[in-house]
Chain A
Amino acid sequence: MSLLSNTAILLDKELRTEFRSRELLTTTAVFILIVLVLFSFAINPGTEEARQFAPGLLWLAILFASSLMFQSCFLREQTNDTLSSLRLAVSDPFAIFLAKLIANTLFLLLTELMMLPFFAIFYNIPLWSKLPVLILVLFVGSLGISIAGTAISAISAQARMRELLLPLLLLPLLTPVLVVSSLVTASLLDREPIVQWKGIGFLAVFDLIFLTALWLFGEYLLEE
């Protein structure tokens, strides 16, 4: 049970640090907004085809935003030199990852929800009636992004050129999430909406596999 209580304490710390300044949330939200606007300049969003690939653009924006958002995840600990004391404080280092990835999922989901109205307006896609399932898709997708992203940001924080390295390592790894979540979202927002449970299940499997890998190998990522 110490894992859960440790995680809860660390998560509380993560959330309090972020909500004190809200730096991460605002910058990521603005970034997604900018990308969505730029995409709408690059394509013609009023057309019928735009409905087809707008969800893909949304997920691409989320992916890029996440690779910026996760930069500070372990870097903050490193610049303040708190990582080693953190490791001593918890009995299971997995708690550190768990707290960080829950916080990251939460931040990502919050920014996505803030940006959804803009997405609906810019690309002319009504999504109010499908909101519950859409939130579920956003959740399983963002969870996968956060699990892989937390692991990779622990790696990139210890290398040179880390700002460039993180997206380079993370984005190819997230190909399955991008492929599946774009398609599930697209068929959900179609004129004849279909809920692709198989796709949502696949995303859940992705989350589970990477969570297991992180649980097995996480402690080595933080070795001094």
Chain B
Amino acid sequence: MKNLNSVFEAYLIGWGVFFLFYVSIAKRTSDLRAEVERLKNALPRGK
């Protein structure tokens, strides 16, 4: 069972990277949603 740590490290870091990427997509999406709201509010006022 030598080197088992390295195997776990590899899997955990790998999954961590995928997870972080997914979080970054979700973050960017929610930022965009906020932006849409802001624009919606700004549009009628501009008219």
The answer to whether A and B touch in the complex, with CB atoms under 8 Å apart, is: no
Which B residues lie at the A interface, using CB under 8 A? Answer: none
Which A residues lie at the B interface, using CB under 8 A? Answer: none
